[in-house]
Chain A
Amino acid sequence: MFEKSLYDLIRGLRNHKGNEKEYIQNCLKECRSEIRNQDMDVKATALLKLIYLEMLGHDMSWASFHVLEVMSSAKYHQKRVGYLGAVQSFRPDTEVLMLATNLLKKDLSATAPTIISLPIGALPHIITPSLALSVLADLLPRLSHSHPSIRKKTIVTLYRLALVYPETLRAAWPKIKERLMDKNEDPSVTAAIINVVCELGWRRPSDFLPLAPRLFELLVEGNNNWMAIKLIKLFATLTPLEPRLVRKLLPPLTDLIRTTPAMSLLYECINGIIQGGILGDGEDFSAREEIASLCVSKLRGMISVGGDPNLKYVALLAFNKIVVTHPFLVAQQEDVILECIDSEDITIRIKALDLVQGMVSSENLLSIVSRLMRQLKASSSALEQQSDHRKSDPETDSSDETSAAAGRKERSKDKPPPLPEDYTVDVIGRILHMCSHDNYASLLDFDWYLDVLTQLVRIAPAPRTRDLDTENSTQAKYLVADISERVGNEIRNVAVKVEAVRPAALQAAELIITRLFRVTSESATSHPAISGALKPIAYIAGEYAFQLSSPDDTLNHLLHLLPRIQNPEILATCLQTVIKLFAFVAGDDRAPWTAERKSSMSLLMARVVHVLEPLALHPYLEVQERAVEFIELLKLTAEAASGQTPTTDDIHQDPPLLLTQAIPSMFNGWQLKSVSYGAQKNVPMPEGLDLDEPIHPNLGSLLSQADSLMLPIQEDDEFDAYYNNKPPATSISSEPAILRLADTPEEVSGSYQQAGEESYLDPDIVARRKAERMERNRDDPFYILESGRSGGTSTPIHNILQRENGPDLDIDAIPIMKLDLADVDTNGGSSSKQQPTSRPKPRQKVVVAADESLGGSGLSTPRYESENNSDNLAKSRAKKLKQSLLQVDSSHLNTLDLDASSNSHLGAAYDPEKQQQDEAEMAQAMKEVQRLRLEMQRAKERIHVAQGVPAEGIVVKRKKPKKPAKVEGDEVGEAAGGEAVTKVKKKKKAVVPEGGEAPAEGEGAVKAKKKKVKKMAEIVDS
């Protein structure tokens, strides 16, 4: 039977459209046997096929040993396949790598340049500190190879070696420098060196300052634009260290800007001038001003409408850098930058947003947010249309792919394409950030903000429940799930901090709850997508129940929603809200206790208990506890209520005190205020508090007693008495409904409507808005009321003044309190009560309460939760992730001192002799390992023949984090300083516990070495 070539494989793939999976599985099976073939040609072909399949996503890490075999082939075209396999499939945990060391060293010293290139090209992909240590001696001579392409590849590879093993540079840098200084060197090699130096430069600019004259020469003389770009980038990192360079650089740079035909070079010149701090500061102001205006005008030209989108993007990129040092220069370009927010291109939008975020002020906030809201609205309605469309014609989903592709085509024809979800989330986050920035410093119109937030709750993408297991995806999930909650949090923050708009915030909350109620009751299917915003919304609804326009309805809606809430945390908050609302609705002690009231109360209690009862068995403890508590309390109250005979014409009866006093008093007390982020950490631990102390010395026996004991459950009298004797707590609520906003749902022909608001707010929000304004302006003579309504007679002058002054409100006039703990007692409670809540007044002067904090202790700086909390979370998460995917960490280089002349750490210097010694030892150890491994391999193969090869696919388990190779790397990293002699021993020691994991097949005490080998063989086979 003939083996398939790669050509056959690809043709086969193309001929098996539809059932590629099966075909690929078959091919993999064939490859598995072919790659064991003794014929090198067959082996190499099989490997090439595997590499191709790896590109399509089929793991081939199981074949790493065979990769090694092909790498060691004598024929160049086979060797090349082997090296390609190593580059594409070796991972940090690939153990066979250490067996490759000798091969790499051998190929590095080959005579044919093509063969030398192979290991040089492959090394950057597979390098480890120990490998770097052993190949360095063979790599260094290649720097003076006669072939320029070998030289430049070597330079780059040395750079990658240095990233994992910084000592490389100590040995290699003098030679690289020599190459760089050599004027007869091939220009392409010089360019490669510049590329490397540019990568190194930003980490350790001071080391490269001495090169400045040569670099300058290259910049002026060299006519290579690619290199010039890198040189300018390099100079931009050098100039901050050596200001004298600026004077030298300015003429050639301005010259380049004026003359170069290459846009990329022009851009980099400008960028370099910006980044190098050449703009602005220092003496010789006129010349610099000239160049600054030259740069900015060029950038402005790039950005302005109708230009090339790429230029727009890079100009924004440059502005993003300028804004850090020269914000005023960017602020001048506000107009063109704002235009970019509306660009069709998301990349440009995001960059513009980055910029705009820093430029927000009270003047432009409204227009910026309006722009963004319009985009979001358009995108969300487009999404709805699309989903409707898809539902309506079911023919399109014959197969997933085709319908998706069709959808994509349709979409591109439609005008506003729906925005990607993560972008939507990002934009919402930015809107919240811009508005809440610096404790709402830029925000003037809180009513408008509340409307925007209400709209955002509707737009925010529903939290998806994806069950992917990696860290990154949970992070993404967190972000998506979080955004609607963050919007809700903003509503809550406004309600808590800005007392003047609290009623409006409550209205918004009611609106959201009502809408959720409608959405869930409309769809017959269980609709689990309850917005995360519900949690904070429910909180304020409960906390400020007396300001709700219709607490009964809200209670009803919440009771309806409760069984549908999946997230236990939201559920817990909503439970609390339900009982608070109940307390408010039922707790009116002035209304007479009529028969009607009695029956409605008992019905209501029965309903609440009915809803709560299933939750008493909820798996989430918090929910369970609250549900059980409230059920018991309500049952008690219900009994009390049924015991109380209603008022008749003759006898006056008070409503049960449990209902009117006890339950409401649980929720009325100190008003809660916002506390700055982290302030709680500053609360000192009370003296004598010992958290380790058991609650009860004999808890265990008490509990066991409780099991056997039957507690007498009755005697409401006792409970009644208990509650009745207790003096009621301070009460600020139970104010009757005068506080409620007069809601006027009539349509008003509002001529003062801000233009364009309808374009991003839903009609019902707009209507509510109009009604509200109507109400607010009733007393204002400047507004003409509808004829049906009685015109206001009183015209308080301050109203007029405020209205007049409105848009130009001096933001500094808003007092921002900074509260110390000492003040809290006297100040905190009273300030809120001084001013009894009444019908909302025209609110222009809005007091935004600052977060409370504990001063002095310095443990944490006070921050505003709304802006920083999530960022911090994200940051700490990012830190936890350690480093980004794809990132090559070059931080090791920081610690290395490159300056060869002042070589102070001679002890740590590169010592070729010692290294050779190490290598010899290493090689010996390797040989041993190899021998044992081969033995094991043979044994394994025998077992395989007996058992048969697993039929389908590759089941490669993710390997355990600790790996011999890794351990070895660490050890060497430490030992590199000097006594590397013990390295091999150490390595073996470190491996022992690893080997222990391999299943011992009967032979109890095998040598550690042997175990390790066994493991190795296992990996090769798996």
Chain B
Amino acid sequence: MINAFLVFNGQGQPRLTKFYTQLDTSIQQRLISEIYTLVSNRPAGSCNFLPLPPLLAASGTSQSASQPHNDVPSLVTYRCYATLSFIIISTSTESPLALIDLIQVYVEALDRLFENVCELDLIFNFETLHATLGEMIVGGVVIDTNTDRIVQGVRAQGAVAKRPVNEGRGAGLGSGLGMGGNFVWHGR
């Protein structure tokens, strides 16, 4: 199952935090900063999987591959779009490559909702971020991966606010970078 879904920007400021277990705010923040450190130190062309951050590795099973326990979060998948990094922490029951796709689905859905989404949209509409995620993942289990249905589900909850007019446009998340790029797994 999925243990957490995080979004933060290039400076490590969280844009969305969703933990599927209850965790103290301070620990959440430490985890985010540890993962941010890992993400920001990745050389170009690395894979989309992170080593376990110290917080998780300390209590986890990093060295003993002998008895993998399926309840323990053991996989940190990330994917960067323009200025944002999307992180999924999951157990071994999830398929690693499918998780990369899942992030793609999420970004595509956001792109549909905001029309050429950028970081500013996400900053000012973090409620919509949560709503979109809620249409994809409930309690750590994926419930839908179809962009149409996800978008429809979010729209059913009310109009999605438009971007504030007087705020400058940042680089587009979707069309600008990554989306439909060279490593889509066609998992869908």
Contacts and interface: CB of A to CB of B under 8 A. Distances in A.
Interface of A: 6-7, 10-11, 48, 52, 54-61, 76-77, 80-81, 84, 87-92, 113-114, 117, 120-121, 123-126, 149, 152-153, 156-157, 159-160, 188, 191-192, 195-196, 198-199, 202-203, 224-226, 229-230, 233, 261-265, 267-268, 271, 308-310, 312-314, 317, 320, 324, 344-348, 350, 354, 408, 412, 417, 420, 422-423, 426, 470, 472, 475-476, 479, 871, 874-875, 878, 881, 883-891
A10 B48 contact: no
Contacts, number: 255
Contact of A887 (B3, B40, B44, B153): B3
Interface string B93-106: 10111101100000
A48 B127 contact: yes
A347 B71 contact: no
B93 A199 contact: yes
Contacts of B142: 192, 195, 226
Contacts of A889: 71
Interface of B: 1, 3-4, 13-29, 31, 38, 40-51, 54-66, 70-73, 89, 93, 95-98, 100-101, 123-124, 126-127, 130-131, 134-135, 138-146, 149, 153, 156-158, 164, 167, 183, 185-188
Given A57-B29, A90-B22, A156-B138, A262 B50 contact: no
A59 B25 contact: yes
Report whether over half of chain A's contact residues are helix, strand or loop; otherwise say mixed: helix
Contact of A888 (B55, B71, B123): B71
A306 to B, nearest CB: 11
A575 B158 CA distance: 75
Contacts of A354: 63, 65
Given A422-B57, A885-B59, A125 B14 contact: no
Contacts of A479: 58
Contact of A225 (B60, B156, B186): B186
B43 A198 contact: no
Contacts of A888: 1, 3, 20-21, 71, 140
Given A149-B135, A264-B97, A885-B31, 4 more contacts: A91-B23, A267-B97, A875-B64, A884-B60
Contact of B186 (A261, A268, A881, A887): A261
Contacts of A188: 143-144, 146, 149
When A and B form their complex, which 9 residue pairs have the shortest distance between CB atoms, in order from nearest?
A: A124-B139, A264-B97, A309-B47, A345-B46, A886-B3, A57-B29, A160-B139, A264-B187, A884-B59
B182 to A, nearest CB: 9
Contacts of A159: 139, 141
A59 B29 CA distance: 11
Contacts of B187: 225-226, 229, 262, 264-265
A202 B93 CA distance: 9
B95 to A, nearest CB: 5
A832 B127 CA distance: 75
Contacts of B138: 120-121, 124, 152-153, 156-157
Contacts of B4: 886
Nearest to B14: A55
A264 B98 contact: yes
A472 B58 contact: yes
Most buried by A among B63, B138, B153, B183: B138
23 contacts: A10-B124, A57-B25, A91-B23, A114-B156, A120-B138, A156-B138, A157-B139, A188-B144, A195-B141, A262-B185, A267-B97, A310-B47, A310-B100, A344-B45, A347-B49, A348-B46, A354-B63, A878-B61, A884-B72, A885-B21, A885-B27, A886-B89, A889-B71
Contact of A229 (B55, B61, B98, B126): B98
A944 B49 CA distance: 51
Given A267-B95, A347-B51, A476-B58, A886 B73 contact: yes
